[in-house]
């Protein structure tokens, strides 16, 4: 069995883990969170939150305010009443959906996932643990795609984080701005998953890039011009050794 370079092992481990974390961040609606206190005027206030047209009503006479928790992702937004099971999620819409920075983040994340998937497939083909010699060029090309994917996802996360409190703010709609201003928005869990996944992609892809550099093979003592590789075993000193010994000094 051939000795797989440590850089390839590191790349094969970290690249899929980074892809899984970025994918988790992409599909979850916790890129940013905010909370707003809703005053309940009058004793006959009726709150309706439901899915598919099914309303859930509750009258309150003693409670003066409700704390609403709002979360937004790239493709989904949610609203929940604190300390309650009342929750509703819906596809992003309105000024937030039309915001060019949100659209840019969506495109970059989708491209990152695609490149990372292709890069991991190439890396797996290039490592080829079932043969004597790995396809170093193929593995390194996969690493290059994974690094590119990590940079794209980092760019998307950076753009979103930098403009987090301004996303979806339409200056032409004063009422919407007034309502949005009541939310104390901050970064949420999905962003942290994305940051961690992106760094793991960069780490795994960079490790695979070392596959471009072919290590030096030891030379045969009796033939200095002859290198010792599994594909060339003409050195008299190693002809009597086992295959395992040959592979341990192989390149």
pLDDT tens for each residue of 165-176: 888 876 554 434
116-to-17, 125, 137, 148, 164 alpha-carbon distances in Å: 11, 14, 17, 8, 25
Can you say how many angstroms the Cα of residue 212 is from the centroid of all Cα atoms in its chain?
Answer: 25
Residue 45 lies in a domain: no
Lowest mean pLDDT among 52-66, 90-104, 110-124, 163-177: 52-66
Exposure class string for 141-169: b at 16+ Cβ within 10 A, else e: bbbbbbbbbbbbbbbbbebbeebbbebbe
**Domain identity same for 144 and 80:** yes
| Count of structural domains, the chain | 2
Residues 236 and 126 in one domain: no
**How many Å apart are CA 56 and CA 64, to the nearest integer?**
19
Regarding whether 176 and 148 lie in a shared domain, the answer is: yes
- Can you point out the beta strands (E) in the chain? 32-39, 45-46, 59-60, 65-72, 76-81, 87-91, 186-187, 219-220, 223-227
Whether residue 81 is found in the same domain as residue 104: yes
User: Assign residue 175 a region: left if phi > 0, alpha if psi is -120 to 50, beta otherwise?
Assistant: alpha
Query: What is the residue range of 26's domain?
Result: 6-39+62-212
Give the range among 23-37, 116-130, 162-176, 213-227 with minimum mean pLDDT: 213-227
Tens of pLDDT, residues 199-222: 999 999 999 988 666 555 555 555
Q: Tell me, what's the pLDDT at 135?
A: 77
**Interatomic CA distance for residues 177 and 166, integer angstroms:** 10
232 and 142 within one domain = no
* 47 located within any domain: no
Q: How far is the C-alpha of 46 from the C-alpha of 60, rounded, in Å?
A: 8
150 and 242 belong to one structural domain: no
Same domain, 227 and 120: no
Both 129 and 240 in one domain: the answer is: no
More confident residue, 117 or 48: 117
């Amino acid at each position: 069995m051939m000795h797989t370079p440590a850089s390839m092992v590191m790349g094969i481990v970290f690249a899929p883990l980074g892809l899984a974390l970025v994918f988790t961040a992409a599909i979850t609606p916790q890129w940013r969170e905010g909370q707003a206190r809703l005053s309940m005027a009058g004793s006959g206030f009726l709150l309706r939150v439901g899915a598919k047209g099914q309303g859930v009503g509750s009258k309150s006479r003693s409670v003066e305010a409700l704390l609403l928790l709002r979360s937004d992702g790239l493709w989904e937004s949610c609203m929940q009443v604190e300390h309650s099971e009342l929750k509703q999620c819906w596809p992003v819409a309105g000024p937030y959906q039309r915001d060019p920075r949100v659209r840019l983040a969506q495109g970059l994340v989708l491209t990152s996932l695609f490149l990372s998937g292709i890069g991991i497939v190439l890396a797996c083909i290039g490592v080829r643990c079932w043969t004597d010699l790995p396809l170093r060029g193929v593995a390194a090309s996969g690493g290059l795609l994974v690094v590119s994917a990590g940079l794209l996802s980092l760019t998307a996360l950076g753009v979103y984080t930098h403009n987090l409190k301004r996303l979806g703010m339409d200056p032409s709609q004063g009422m919407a701005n007034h309502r949005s201003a009541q939310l104390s928005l901050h970064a949420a869990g999905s962003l942290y998953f994305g940051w961690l996944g992106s760094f793991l992609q960069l780490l795994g892809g960079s490790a695979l890039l070392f596959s471009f550099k072919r290590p030096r093979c030891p030379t045969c003592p009796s033939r200095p011009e002859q290198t010792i590789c599994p594909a060339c075993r003409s050195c008299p000193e190693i002809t009597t050794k086992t295959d395992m010994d040959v592979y341990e000094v192989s390149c």
